[in-house]
Amino acid sequence: MLPPLVRILIPAAVAFIVGVAATPLLTHYLYKYKAWKKLPGKRALDGNTAHEFNRLHNENEVRAPRMGGIVVWGSVVLTILGIALIATLLPYKALLDLNFLSRNQTWLPLATLLMGAFVGLIDDLMVIRQSGEGIRLRFRLLFVIILSSFIGWWFYDKLDVTAVNIPFSAPLEIGWLIIPLFVVFSLWLYASGVIDGIDGLSGGVFASVFASYTIIAFAQDQIDLAAFTACVVGGLLAFLWFNIPPARFYMSDTGTMGLTLAIGTVAFMTDNLGGGVGIAVLPVIGALLVATVLSDIAQVLSKKFLGRKLLRIAPLHHHFEAIGWPGYKVVMRYWVLSVVFSFAGVILALAALPTQSIQ
């Protein structure tokens, strides 16, 4: 029998190799069909022209294709299905151990990832048209609400999840409120997808988040789930290989929508269901995602009630650009902070586990 750590690391390595190998073919077609936004420019959350953003990023918006997120979820899908197919055709013990496509741990986060990625892909395909208009925000939010309501109901009704674990304390029983809680987390995570704004930024942050939950799931003995999150990390590293400045492509909605929604599912699976505190540590592990959303909210509220902007430009990472930080400096510092917050969240999650649960 393969050691659990090997069962986790091999899918991650395979996903990375698959992603790096497939990207040249993908980018060939993305450039061939000019899969980038045709008209530069962006509007702020209040509907007005985002002058500061356009000053910084007008040229970047039309220099590289969108849909780079295909590398991430594509390599994950090819790895999962490839290993499962090989294990079916060649049912040797080692190959069967590597197959992490399981109903109780993998299907739900994989389905969430792919459904979010599919809707994001449709949005990207609409954006690269001459008109440059994607799916309206209200419809994307409606999709997130419908999908997360169904998954929240699945946790509640099918998996009997009715409580949220609190670190070093008794679980908080909330019953059916687990459904709206999951919806709220999903909306927040989807809103944090705007962190995909500078070359290499989102890939590094998301890789840290998924790597953290790999460790947490492994400590809970949810090996298939840990293999899934590690596989996503492998896909993200393959994406980063080509997204480091100057980026060959952008992750865009087909990446951010699928990844952010999958994070929520993984967090809930590593909470009461896995005997851990996956929900409570999410704001720590994803602290930069929290900061991204809060900076947007603070900017809107400041303009509405104080009549002035709190930041030069929101979200926060663009504010740092606007005050003179080079993009690469913002990215590298976000990567450092993301690793620090991830370590803090993992330490808290492992410390809150029962001693006998830790591998």
Q: Which residues are annotated as a binding site for Mg(2+)?
A: 253
How buried is residue 54: exposed, middle or buried, by Cβ count under 10 Å (0-12/13-18/19+)?
middle
Residue 76 is which amino acid? V
DSSP secondary structure letter of residue 16? H
Measured over the CA atoms of residue 193, residue 249, residue 233 and residue 179, the dihedral's sign is: positive
Residue 210 is which amino acid? F
Residues belonging to the binding site are 253
Structure tokens that stand for 103 in this block = 């109903």
Contacts with 68 (C-beta within 8 Å, 6 or more apart), sequence order: 239, 242, 243, 247, 248, 249, 250, 251, 252, 255
The Cα–Cα gap between 324 and 230 comes to 35
DSSP track, 234-282: HHHHHHHHHHSSSPSS--HHHHHHHHHHHHHHHHHHTTTTTTS-TTTTH
Angle at 66 between CA 332 and CA 229, to 5 degrees: 60
Helices 201-219 and 327-351 pack at an angle, to 10 degrees, of 10
**Where does 108-263 show beta strands of DSSP type E?**
163-164, 172-173
Contacts with 260 (C-beta within 8 Å, 6 or more apart), sequence order: 116, 186, 189, 190, 192, 193, 289
Q: Which residue is it, tokens 């500078």?
A: 198
